[in-house]
Amino acid sequence: MFIRKPFFFKKFHKGPRIVANEQIRALQVQVIDETGKNLGIFDTNKAIELAKERELDLVEISSKIQPPICKIINYGKYQYIQEKKIKKQKAQQKKFEVKEIRIGFTTSPHDLEIKARKVEDFLKDGHKVKVDMKLRGREKAHGDLAREKLNTFLTMITIDFKMEEEIKRTPMGFTLLICPGKPKNQ
């Protein structure tokens, strides 16, 4: 008689299959013991008995090949080691945000200096900075003056940065993206 797995089985099943949960479905498996020695190909029931004799679990490590590779290990310890590896990888990933600074066509030079210092703080922290210049109404007709004001703002930034995206025209004005580092042309 054929028994169907419940429809939600795959949704909640994560990680390697473990025998204690009766999840290994293959008839034969390749068994590796706790020291890493290859014991050969066994019937699944015999492999389960071998694991029980050693008071350990039979865990399916690789199910993509025939026969699947199973390892005799302590499953709780195995899960703990895997979680530590994942946490270590997450800690090593460099996290950064894209900060945004908006300047206007009529922003005064003093306000531009303050915003330039804020951009420097963001760059020192390792963040990318998106600089937006919004143009309203008739200001849109003076694109060359707006681009010149953006270039003036970039010269106010004293620390090294490189432009990840050049100055681009958008329907609302201009935008550019800078990140910390030395410029490519130097």
Q: Which residue, 53, 129, 68, is CA-closest to 97?
A: 129
Total residues found in the chain within this entry: 186
CATH 3.10.20.80 in the chain: give the residue spans.
Answer: 10-76
Q: Are 59 and 16 in contact (CB under 8 A)?
A: yes
pLDDT of residue 176: 93
CATH 3.30.110.10 in the chain: give the residue spans.
Answer: 98-180
Query: Under CATH, which number does the domain 10-76 receive?
Result: 3.10.20.80
Q: DSSP code of 98?
A: E
5-9, 41-45, 55-59, 84-88: range with lowest mean pLDDT: 5-9
Q: Which residue, 69, 82, 79, 80, is CA-closest to 26?
A: 69
10-52 pLDDT per residue, tens? 545 566 666 555 677 788 889 998 888 999 999 988 988 888 8
CA dist., res. 74 & res. 136, Å (int): 66
CA dist., res. 71 & res. 3, Å (int): 27
**What's the mean pLDDT in 173-182?**
90
Q: Are 63 and 15 in contact (CB under 8 A)?
A: no
Query: Under CATH, which number does the domain 98-180 receive?
Result: 3.30.110.10
- Give the predicted TM-score (pTM) of the model: 0.51
pLDDT of residue 90: 85
